[in-house]
Chain A
Amino acid sequence: MASDKNDKTYTLLRAFINDQLERSQLEELFALIEEADEEQLHIAIRSILEEEHTLENLDFIQERVELLQEDILAKINPPRSFPSKRKLSPLRIAIGIAAMLTIVFTITYLWQFGNDHAGTDQDIASTIMPGGNKAIITVNGQDFELDADRGELMLGADSLFYGDGQLLTTTAAQQTVQVKTPLGGQYQLILSDGSQVWLNAGSKLTYNTGFGTDNRALRLEGEAYFDVVKNPDLPFTVEINGQQVEVLGTAFNISAYAEEPMVKTTLQRGSLAVANDDQKLILKPNQQAILDKDAKKIATRDVNAASIVAWKDGIFDFHGMDVEECMRVIARWYQLDIVYKEKVPSVLLGGKMSRGVRLSTFLEFLEANFGIHGEVTADRKLIITANSK
């Protein structure tokens, strides 16, 4: 038995993997490895790698993994709309068509817009414009309507001002500040600690002055994306009905609309703790915590965070959404009531679209890809029928 040698190899390997090996021992290690039985060596290395160890460089790894993914996808040479010898799944066909249509519609839209004769189309849907930068901020009971063109608001410790420096109002200690986006509105905010918040349509963010110095506590209804500046001394917390989220420095999205059955917290990078009265879970990047509001239970699943946070960059990403969820997203952006005339199929949608298009463009997209027909009434009801044909 060469067990002494095996032990020595194991000890040195372990020191090496844990970055504790001296340069002078490296040669000895590799000499032992050269003699070692291949299978034994594999077992040794694998068992050391399986040992508990601290997770390091998570941000770095996440970033590298995302960059690498692009390289890999480029090499995979995705089967596009040209059918190959392989069987095409309906979902893939749908995504392919969706991608093409998005381009076609964008061009059509730009062309119409550029020629400025939108009035020729009598369809109501083509007159319904997408949402934009809209929000109302309430300080101590006083409302301020935010300027759509300035795009972002800085919520300083004692004053509120636009990104270009224009003062909106000052604040005093012990006041409550509330930013509310209407349906069809969104707004970008910069908090006094430097963290950024994108507030989606139909949402409400509340905090007390003293945020950034005494605490970093916020309350949210609706949906927001947070990019939080790291500060180990002052944890950043978001309170949602029935759930708390706590982070140090990270980027994440919370969707907590009253009309949605689930509260979804998605981590893009860093780490995050989500808790209710009975449970506390830690998320890793590309994981999502789902709180079932009725059962009061939180579960996690793996997701593609980039697709979930795409809204903040002006994109609808319908990947993984069912028809009804997709319709609720649309209802919030175009200020509609959705009426189902017949039961819609429970298929998962796919595809991406700009949030800057008229409603008619979206409806064409829906019909062409999923056979779902939508018609708008004058009082902004969107009537859905499963298949027009």
Chain B
Amino acid sequence: MKEEAYFDEAKVLEEMKQDSIAAFNQLYSKYAPILYQRLLRLLKNPESVEEILQDVFLKIWNKREEIIPEKGFKTFIYRIADNMAIDLFRKIGRDKALQLELWAASISFYLHTEERVLDKEKVSIVQEAIQSLPPKRRDILMQCKFEEKSYKEVAEMMGISVSTVSNQLVSAMKDIREYIVKNYREDYLISLIFIAVLAF
């Protein structure tokens, strides 16, 4: 079965050239989720990913007249997104503070992973960070991530909107990152890892 049998990309691109927002939305729905997933694996941080995706899609819209469907739109949009993400990644690498933040982001993502064997030490850091969250934010995080409730259920239960739930989650991750950065500066962390190694 060919999955894209009904999605005529060349036609949609042609419509977008004629200023069709609907066509733009179709392309967005097709590419934004996979690109989000892809960039998140490199950048570990929803805010950075969202900034880049916004730039990518604004660029696609602004340059819509220059797009040549025959040249392969998928390759084109992936290349734009990858280049922006890799540039940011290298920029992060040149700055010690940003590096630490990146690492913190990567472990705060342990929150999302379901079937992964967790490193004890990382888990305890993350747990500590979770404890430091404001109660309501912590509650939302626990409901969504550990009790596996859908965002909608959590939203209804707490009497807030679904987008508030997702915004609170992003803020929670940010708080956790900041907590880790603040409390686990490099030297302390190395000694901690050292102790952890000795303990086994």
Contacts and interface: CB of A to CB of B under 8 A. Distances in A.
Contacts of B21: 73, 76, 78
Interface string A17-60: 11101111011011001100000011001100100010111111
Interface centre among A60, A230, A290, A303 (most CB of B within 10 A): A60
Contact of A19 (B30, B82, B106, B150): B106
Contacts of B15: 89
B42 A45 contact: yes
Interface centre among B28, B61, B99, B189 (most CB of A within 10 A): B28
Interface string B109-124: 1101110100000000
B90 A49 contact: no
B10 to A, nearest CB: 14
B50 A319 contact: no
B36 A59 contact: no
A172 B58 CA distance: 58
Interface in B41-93: 41-42, 44, 46, 50, 53-54, 57-58, 61, 82-83, 86, 89-90, 93
Contacts of A91: 20, 22
B89 to A, nearest CB: 8
Given A56-B113, A89-B19, A63 B42 contact: no
B136 interface: no
Nearest to B21: A78
Contact of A89 (B20, B61, B110, B113): B20
B5 A301 contact: yes
A16 B2 CA distance: 34
Contacts of A233: none
B38 interface: yes
Interface residues of A, number: 69
A279 interface: yes
Given A55-B37, A91-B20, A92-B20, A64 B6 contact: no
Contacts of B22: 91, 95, 319, 350
> Mostly helix, strand, loop or mixed at chain B's interface?
helix
B32 A59 contact: no
A89 B18 contact: yes
B110 A19 contact: yes
A286 interface: yes
Given A61-B33, A67-B163, A56 B114 contact: yes
Interface of B: 1-7, 15, 18-22, 24-26, 28-30, 32-33, 36-38, 40-42, 44, 46, 50, 53-54, 57-58, 61, 82-83, 86, 89-90, 93-94, 99, 102-103, 106-107, 109-110, 112-114, 116, 148-153, 162-163, 165-167, 169-170, 186, 189-190, 193
Top 5 A-B pairs ranked by shortest CB distance?
A: A301-B6, A30-B93, A63-B166, A89-B18, A286-B29
7 contacts: A17-B42, A60-B166, A61-B36, A227-B152, A279-B1, A285-B33, A286-B29
Interface of A: 16-19, 21-24, 26-27, 29-30, 33-34, 41-42, 45-46, 49, 53, 55-65, 67-69, 71-73, 75-76, 78-79, 86-89, 91-92, 95, 194, 227, 229-230, 249, 251, 279, 281, 284-286, 290, 298-304, 319, 350
